[in-house]
């Protein structure tokens, strides 16, 4: 009986097979396991609209899909797609370091299962897992996009970067919070000359016309000048 391979390329040696080469093959397997659990590779996906297929090389360290961390590089001049074989079951840390304002989609080779996409301006990092949950339409799951809750500790801000990541707008908590609370955003966008205000005592926010505040900004300034 000949050796077989896992979906990530690790060789499963059959009893009586590979006489005299077990040491070499075992060392290759161990190196491959190390690569699968903590390896890093850069993969160029340069070019126009098209697809780059990451592969699994059985019993070898050369497969482009056999890494834990994969950084996409190169100048892209069209929307790119990166695929993995349909039977791969693992998780990846993906970094989009391409240049060019085009999307990069990460998906299984075939099928209509879910995928994850870096937007044209997203040159960030994603944590995804390949579920191999369906032989025909397997799903890629973006962990952070589907996270039930994210907690930022030590009063660190959540930062919203601008288009070229040269500056950001940050939101953070005060150094001391007397009691935990959650602000709930409105279900629909407001209109011109409306302000975002609390609508109850539970942190629910809503849009309210500024005219309902009772005094205009101009009047307030005039009163401040007259009455001090």
Q: Provide the pLDDT confidence category of residue 30 given band limits of 50, 70 and 90.
A: very high
List the domain range (segments joined by +) for residue 17: 4-142
Contacts of residue 55, Cβ cutoff 8 Å, sequence gap at least 6: 63, 64, 65, 85
95 and 204 fall within a common domain:
no
pLDDT at 36 over 90: yes
- The residues with which 133 forms a beta bridge, in sequence order, are none
pLDDT number for residue 210: 80
Maximum separation of any 2 CA atoms in the chain, in Å: 100
pLDDT number for residue 212: 74
Does 107 reside within a domain? yes
pLDDT at 219 over 70: no
pLDDT at 136 over 90: yes
112 and 208 fall within a common domain:
no
* Domain stop point among 142, 166, 198: 142
101 and 204 fall within a common domain:
no
36 and 120 fall within a common domain:
yes
Contacts of residue 71, Cβ cutoff 8 Å, sequence gap at least 6: 40, 41, 42, 43, 94, 95, 97
35 and 135 fall within a common domain:
yes
pLDDT number for residue 10: 97
Q: Provide the pLDDT confidence category of residue 163 given band limits of 50, 70 and 90.
A: confident
Structure tokens at 180: 């935990």
pLDDT at 142 over 70: yes
* Domain stop point among 116, 142, 168: 142
| Range of lowest pLDDT (50-64, 101-115, 212-226) | 212-226
* Domain stop point among 122, 142, 162: 142
> What span, in angstroms and rounded, lies between the C-alpha atoms of 27 and 15?
17
197 and 134 fall within a common domain:
no
pLDDT at 139 over 90: yes
Does 154 reside within a domain? no
Does 174 reside within a domain? no
pLDDT number for residue 1: 64
% of the chain with per-residue pLDDT over 90 = 68
Q: What is the mean pLDDT of the chain?
A: 91
CA angle 77, 55, 6 (to 5 degrees): 155
Contacts of residue 106, Cβ cutoff 8 Å, sequence gap at least 6: 82, 83, 84, 92, 94, 115, 116, 117, 118, 126, 128, 140
98 and 195 fall within a common domain:
no
Does 160 reside within a domain? no
What is the pTM for the complete model shown? Answer: 0.75
Domain count, the chain: 2
């Amino acid at each position: 009986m000949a050796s077989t391979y896992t979906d990530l390329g690790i060789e499963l040696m059959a009893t009586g097979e590979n006489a005299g080469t077990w040491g070499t093959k075992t060392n290759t397997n161990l190196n491959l396991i190390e690569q699968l659990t903590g390896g890093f590779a850069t993969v160029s996906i340069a070019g126009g609209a098209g697809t780059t297929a990451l592969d699994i090389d059985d019993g070898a360290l050369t497969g482009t899909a056999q890494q834990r961390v994969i950084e996409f590089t190169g100048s892209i001049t069209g929307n790119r797609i990166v695929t993995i074989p349909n039977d791969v079951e693992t998780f990846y840390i993906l970094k989009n370091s391409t240049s060019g304002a085009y999307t990069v989609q990460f998906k299984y080779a075939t099928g209509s299962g879910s995928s994850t996409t870096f937007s044209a301006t997203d040159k960030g990092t994603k944590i995804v897992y390949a579920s191999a949950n369906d032989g025909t339409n397997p799903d890629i799951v973006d962990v952070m996009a589907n996270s039930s809750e994210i907690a930022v500790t030590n009063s660190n801000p959540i930062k919203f970067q601008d288009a070229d990541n040269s500056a950001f707008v940050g939101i953070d908590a005060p150094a001391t919070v007397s009691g935990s609370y959650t602000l709930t955003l409105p279900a629909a966008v407001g209109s011109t000359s409306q302000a975002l205000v609390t609508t109850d005592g539970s942190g629910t926010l809503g849009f309210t016309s500024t005219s309902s505040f009772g005094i205009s900004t101009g009047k307030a300034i005039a009163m401040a000048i007259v009455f001090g």
